[in-house]
Amino acid sequence: MKIISGGVTAAQGFVAGGMHCGIRANKTKPDLAMILAKNRCSAAAVYTTNLVKGAPIAVTRRNIADGYAQAVICNSGNANTCNADGEQKAWRMCEIAGAALKIAPEDVIVASTGVIGQVLPIEPIETSAPVLAAVLSDDGSAMANRGIMTTDTVEKTCAVSFEIGGKEVKIGGIAKGSGMIHPNMATMLGFITTDAAISPAVLQKALSAAVQTTFNMVSVDGDTSTNDMVSVLASGCAGNPEIAESGKSYETFLEALTFVCRDLAKKVAGDGEGATKLLVCSVTGAADEACARTVAKSVICSSLLKAAMFGADANWGRVLCAIGYSGAPVDVNAVDVSFASEAGRVDVCVAGAGIPFSEETAKKVLSEKAIDILVELHSGSASAEAYGCDLTYDYVKINGDYRT
């Protein structure tokens, strides 16, 4: 597997683009994005578990119920959630995209992100969609990425190439997400494309599996969004033998898809609102994967630990505390904890008790931009990772006036 450039247009058969259409007041920020495949694709998606769901989710579910789609349209600046006319507007976006792209509206995946509870103005989309459709290109992934961003400060993209059945296959994706992020899933949107030939059912199986260990292991602030969605389109243009069941080809595809999802998930976590550091909690020695996942999530969600990481304070007791209330069956008297980064590693806890360590060394380790929180449970061979960020003053500033 090789990392390549191109994002959602790295795979054969896709074009994309983004532009400012007028939903956002700031004219320098793109707020509309499109992705188009040259043919109908196998399609799959996963959605937020919040009982309050954005209207686009209901429409997308219906549109891809047959396992196929050909395009994506997404606006930022307005979530189109908790509105009486929400589904009507979401379906209208599909009609607008369909007309502009000359495809059936039922073959459109629709998404929205932004403020909840404000009526989505459809006129800017009606006016701009034909303009955007005319300029979609095979190097338009970055503009599409910008078009779906809200409080994000950086673009989030990843693409890889690998081989299946003697054919080069590519998977690429873009994502947005910065705040209101917590499993399952995070507050985020992810759009993934591949030129693999794969059946809709197997594609759905692969996406659900990949998301479980990547996007569903991200938490920024403990709030699960209403509009979360990760979708994938598979054009089949690579010409590999169709992946229609489990086996070597499926495992190869799943590994690559998981790599892309994990890369995007970590970029979402590292760009959490106000964040200065990416936190990765790696749990090893768990009795089973469920235990490892529960512990990793609990640690990464601890507000006290997140604040300590902001201050580069090796307050390892907060790690133990989070493990203790996680609900996972853990022998707390067997737990080891360490912190690591590019500046080195410092062991702080062995067998559930503190050990002497250099506060100066710990400060250097925790002052880096990416921090690993290493937890060894000594109870088995299972492992898991969770992804988060530090908690800073700026998180409150950003969310204190997000709506206004």
Structure tokens at 114: 């932004």
Pairwise CA distance, residues 294 & 285, whole Å: 13
Angle 163-169-172 from CA coordinates, rounded to 5°: 130
Alpha helices in 102-148 (DSSP H): 123-133, 141-147
Going from the C-alpha of 32 to that of each of 27, 140, 148, the distances in angstroms are 12, 13, 7
Q: Coil, strand or helix: which one is 247?
A: coil
Q: Which residues contact 340 (CB under 8 A, 6 or more apart)?
A: 346, 365, 371, 372, 374
399 beta partners: none
Pairwise CA distance, residues 210 & 37, whole Å: 22
Among 9, 60, 187, 258, the active-site one is: 187
Residue 184 Rama label (left phi>0; alpha psi -120 to 50; beta) = beta
Helix (H) or strand (E) holding 49: none
- Within 10 Å of residue 154's Cβ, how many Cβ atoms? 11
Residue 60 class from Cβ within 10 Å (0-12 exposed, 13-18 middle, 19+ buried)?
A: buried
Q: Is 187 a catalytic residue?
A: yes
Strands (E), 57-150: 68-78, 108-115
Catalytic positions are 187
